[in-house]
Structure 1
Amino acid sequence: MTYSSDAERLLNATHLAEVQGRSLWADARARFLRNKAAMVGTFILFGIAVFAIFGQFIAQHERDMIDFTLIGANMQKGVPSIETGHFFGTDANGRDLFARVVQGTQISLMVGIVGALVAVIVGTLYGAIAGYAGGRTDNIMMRIVDVLMSIPFMFVLILMLVIFGRSIFMLFLGIGLISWLDMARIARGQTLTIKNKEFVEVAHATGVAPFTIILRHIVPNLLGIVIVYATLLVPQMIIFESFISFLGLGVQEPNTSLGALISEGSSNMAYGVMWQLYFPLAFFVLTIFAFFFVGDGLRDALDPKDR
């Protein structure tokens, strides 16, 4: 009985040490892995990323090559078929829809990720500087944010594209540099709490430069909320880009995006070529929902109140 009780105490002590020694990131990872919706979203995003990267090697036809024999006979000859190599069928101009969906997915993901990255970097630094500086500097910087937030975002983006030309670069610039405002307010609010912590006061007392304190001590402690917001911001960027492309002001030919493909497909629905809408719409919906599932999973996993 003595050996048995000693073994039980040793086992319980080992288990308690493992639980107590687990870091916050390991705890968050365990909670994220238990979230079924988040894991499904992760696998879907992985599959879409593989499709966007390697789909061009699977496509049997060039995305810009026009098959003139299909123009006017798209309903009969341009249907999705493995035998002809048009896996998703063809568009109204006789181009392979599979190859164009691959390119559309690439550009939509690129716009979402780059736009969110620009917004997170600019917004986090701006908000951290405002929150750490405090006083009049904080007041002026946040009033600038309030003024910019009062301007309609979509109107400014459309105006930029009309004035400076419709290009992917302007799309990146317009979406990224305007969408950082919410991130700035979030970062500023978190910084106001963090800057009063002991480790920040010690760094300030030892003579560390304020900007170094922001980069080394404050920004790393904002990573949790930044990561969550970034995953929720990517689908928002994709929706904005798709809406702009749907209006005809986004990505221009010969390039395409999921929004442009959905616009083309919806205009051809009356002719019965439903596949031109269904395939890009399916990738668009799956991408949006997958990002939202992953973002919700990260938010739940990184929330210390759920521990």
Structure 2
Amino acid sequence: MLPNKATVESVADAMAVAEVQGRSLWADARKRFLANKAALVSLFLLIGVALFSIFGNLIAQYAPDYVDFTLMGANAYKGVPSIETGHYFGTDTSGRDLFARTVMGTRISLLVGLIGALVAVIVGTLYGATAGYFGGRTDGIMMRIVDVLMSIPFMFVLILMLVIFGRSISMLFLGIGLISWLDMARIARGQTLTIKNKEFVEMAHAIGVHPIKIILRHIVPNLLGIVIVYATLLVPTMIIFESFISFLGLGVQEPATSLGALINEGSSTMQRGFYWQIGFPIFFFVITIFAFFFVGDGLRDALDPKDR
């Protein structure tokens, strides 16, 4: 006896429900992210920029600090972008190959963004989760400290640190990361206030698990979704801060460089027609910033439980 149409439809519906129920939240988020074309294209652009910063020196014919004395000052207009001469992005007014320096600048800017965001996320997550879990007076004191620190101008503190302790890449990493954890602490604390009332946390507390282990093993893993999203949105913010500091001349020092420093150098020669000296650094800066924002927006949509 052949099954009727209603039976076939009910079986198909049951199979669809079973398929949805059998897929984990991370698998569902991955599927939703891959369906976001803007985020997917931005992810490939970020991979391309990262590969350029890592392996770009393999195709650069000059070192970042190599000086061609025949292409300095008034003769800099001869150093236009050219494949024949090996100066793919041209040269700057000091006669240095702009391609090699753009590779170095992109690498340093990405490192500042990634390491600064990593420090901010780790410190902010642990601090906020601790405050939210213990609550009461501990939460009040810890969050008032955050409020006080947030009232201090971020740029003023960073510039002061660079002036007092010296202008170095390591100090730039440390300064940006340790000051930028405040927003992450507030986000982690708010999420922890909800998670700590869940059954699995109450059960761990009832059987005598140490509070530190509860925070590290039960609360922090459940914050990974919001932490990942915030980290992807924090990286471009770190890159913008670093570029602004370097634009002021307080960031990365010669012979090292960053995208902000290259843009600062190129802006001073724009009126003389040396468009390539600012065009290529701005291109990589804009592509990196927008790609991170689109990836972060895609992750936010994929990991938001309200949209499932």
Bin for the TM-score computed over the shorter chain = over 0.9
8 Å CA contact 1:75, 1:272 repeated in 2: no
8 Å CA contact 2:109, 2:242 repeated in 1: yes
Task: Confirm whether residue 218 of structure 1 aligns to residue 219 of structure 2.
Answer: yes
Structure 1 residues 66 and 75, CA gap change in structure 2 (3 angstroms): closer
- 2:239 matched to which residue of 1? 238
Instruction: Show CA shifts across 1:38-90 (max 9, x none).
Output: 11110110110110111010101111110001113444420000000000000
- 1:251 matched to which residue of 2? 252
**Partner Cα distance (1:60, 1:153) in 2:** 40
Give secondary structure in 2 for the equivalent of 1:113: helix
Q: Which amino acid aligns with 1:109?
A: L
Note the C-alpha offset of 1:142.
0.4
- % identity of equivalent residues: 79
Give secondary structure in 2 for the equivalent of 1:15: helix
**Partner Cα distance (1:10, 1:200) in 2:** 38
Task: Confirm whether residue 103 of structure 1 aligns to residue 93 of structure 2.
Answer: no
8 Å CA contact 1:127, 1:186 repeated in 2: yes
**Partner Cα distance (1:193, 1:11) in 2:** 37
8 Å CA contact 1:166, 1:251 repeated in 2: yes
Q: Map residues 22-61 of structure 1 onto 2, 5 A cutoff.
A: 22-61=23-62
- 1:300 matched to which residue of 2? 301
Structure 1 residues 74 and 218, CA gap change in structure 2 (3 angstroms): farther
Q: Map residues 115-264 of structure 1 onto 2, 5 A cutoff.
A: 115-264=116-265
8 Å CA contact 2:120, 2:184 repeated in 1: yes
Task: Structure 1: state its 5+ residue gaps.
Answer: none
Structure 1 residues 117-126 or 21-30, which shifts more? 21-30
Instruction: Show CA shifts across 1:135-166 (max 9, x none).
Output: 11110000000000000000000000001100
8 Å CA contact 2:76, 2:91 repeated in 1: no
Note the C-alpha offset of 1:8.
5.5
8 Å CA contact 1:66, 1:93 repeated in 2: yes
**Partner Cα distance (1:83, 1:58) in 2:** 14
Note the C-alpha offset of 1:10.
4.4
8 Å CA contact 2:77, 2:274 repeated in 1: no
- 1:2 matched to which residue of 2? 2
**Partner Cα distance (2:35, 2:190) in 1:** 30
Aligned length: 307
- 2:115 matched to which residue of 1? 114
Give secondary structure in 1 for the equivalent of 2:119: helix
**Partner Cα distance (1:142, 1:17) in 2:** 44
Give secondary structure in 2 for the equivalent of 1:259: helix
Note the C-alpha offset of 1:112.
0.1
Note the C-alpha offset of 1:13.
3.1
Q: Which amino acid aligns with 1:101?
A: T
For normalisation by structure 2, the TM-score amounts to 0.97
Give secondary structure in 1 for the equivalent of 2:73: coil
CA RMSD of aligned residues (A): 1.2
For normalisation by structure 1, the TM-score amounts to 0.97
Task: Structure 2: state its 5+ residue gaps.
Answer: none
Give secondary structure in 1 for the equivalent of 2:107: helix
Q: Which amino acid aligns with 2:212?
A: F
**Partner Cα distance (1:302, 1:284) in 2:** 27
